[in-house]
Structure 1
Amino acid sequence: MIFFLLSCFMAAIAGSGEKPGYKKDVMKAFELRMSGKVDEAKVQLEQVLAKDSTNAMAHYEMARLNFYLLTGGGGTSLNDVNVHINKAVFYEPGNVIYAYYHAIIGFMNAYMGMEMGQEDKLKDNVIEACKRFEKVISLKPDYVEPMLYLVEIYGQLPPEMGGDSLKAVYYADKLVNADAYFGARARLTLSLQGTDQVTFWEDQIALNGRTPELLRQVGIAFLFKDNAEHAEKYFAEAMKADASQNLLMLDLGRYHVMKVMQNKELAATELPLAKECFEKYLNTKPEPIVPMKAYTLGLMARTAMFSGNQDEGNKLMEEANALDKYF
């Protein structure tokens, strides 16, 4: 999905009605952020918006930058993200990319509200998020990702929290007719509790072939069964078929770290496996972008420190911060 959204973002830059200078300036900010120069990217966007406060593209990129800072301890809040993405969709309401990110942030509003104990606002926040996803679909009726969000939200939440089983089935049926892979994900979301996910996805492979997406899902299903060995085999096959699936190796490393978080007695066996996965990810092609390199080095630093290798951990942390201090 990351690569799909990035390609759509590039298309929006090429085909939108922005002033030519601002296209270039906003793209420069994006490139700065992707190279780890987040503060410089923010200054660049502030300059663009100082010249034209109605620049929807700049507001969209500023929203994404602020969300990145939020996750990296950069002193921003979810409100900072909301301010800019709200302006992006206000100034360019027909842009499906901005609308989709607007919906994602709407979902984050609901999730963060729940995490903060704002139960009285949860249903309203969920309803608002769903309205935003439905808006995306009105702009692009065959957009499967927002449909899947609606299946998951409507299908997994109880009515008092904004769930709606009939709407979940409605969007699941649309997905089944639109796309085999997303249709399968929708059906699994609404399947009976206890459904064997490995069997489910292996059946999909039998029907549709060994596609990278299906191989990835079988691997994930094996992780849910704590079978990392089988998961890695499927992940490796998925990455061989599609190099952009290399994030799976990072996810596998994070799985091993999670095992230690659940049971510290597993550190001696799980952390070396995590380190191996992180190193493999850093050596994959296409080469990971700078923020992901920094994030991975940060994980390696923490695992080293947890293992008692303080010097190694400090060195790795310095490398991570040198790449992107907001990782």
Structure 2
Amino acid sequence: MGSEDDNNLNLPSDKCYSELDTKYVNDGNDEKCEKLGKTSGEYTKEALLCMGLKGNLEKYEALDIFGKMNDYKCKYLSLWAHDRLSKLKGVEKATMMSTLLGIWIKSKQYEAECSPSQFPAYIDKDDHIKEKSLYDYALNYEELENRCKNCDITPCTRKLAEYITESQKLYIMVKIECNPNLGTNFQRSCIALSDIQKIYPNDELLNPICEGIEDGSKSYRNHERRGFEGELTESHSFGSHSSGDTSSSYSYKAIETSLPILAVLPIGFVLYKFTRLGSMARNLLRRGRINGMNSHDEFTNELLEDTYDDQAHPDITETYIGYQAT
């Protein structure tokens, strides 16, 4: 069975999943798998997936193909199995999953170190895609970093540059979602992020930058990434960074700047629309009292006097409770 991956970027994740597809398929001959049938003398994709899973479980100890992420090979096996199952056409997915779980539970790895509990847990397709994308990007990181370092000699393809950018955006988004204060640490993507940070604790996954991009027969410098970087750098980082990582770490200056502004605008509107401050301002404008510095001081003094006159205007005082200008 050929690889089902279709991004054609020739990345380590593609190679690993292709190996899971084919390498130990002959070690997975099983009566249940045989029953999934043949077409024109060839095993169906369902049968090959069944045999591939059984073979990978039989040869689990030999599955040393995930580099620094090899401690999580059971998760990669679950992600692979679910990905291949989701791509089967004309198959009753629930029945097929039951068959695969039966194979898995009978394997010696079931109680040893690779439970199939992760495999049927991907009820939400989006959760599976997000989690798989994170683990795949971590698996691809070192290869991508090497390619980017040499992109002056061999420019990145546009497709590769887009893959890096989209993966880093996902990584950043998940870091926001998994803020410890939000209580989301049991979310699947947050567990994936935690696993990745055990291997890459300093946000190294944000390092790769395709400086040179090949588009057809032309090469050019990547300014889009710099624009993206400019919005998100030099505010605060999410984790501890070494000095070497600072230049490529991402943060949220744009978000931090915009949120207070967005918070102030509704408050200003409410004060103007529904309190005496609004009517005062309108009356003063009609009488032409805002002309030059003297009139400005007069207007300011009147606003301040009315704002802090708790006895005369308690409704305005209540408006300010809990709000402190920064």
Superposition TM-score, scaled by structure 1 size: 0.26
Q: Which has the larger radius of gyration?
A: 2
Higher strand share goes to which structure? 2
Superposition TM-score, scaled by structure 2 size: 0.26
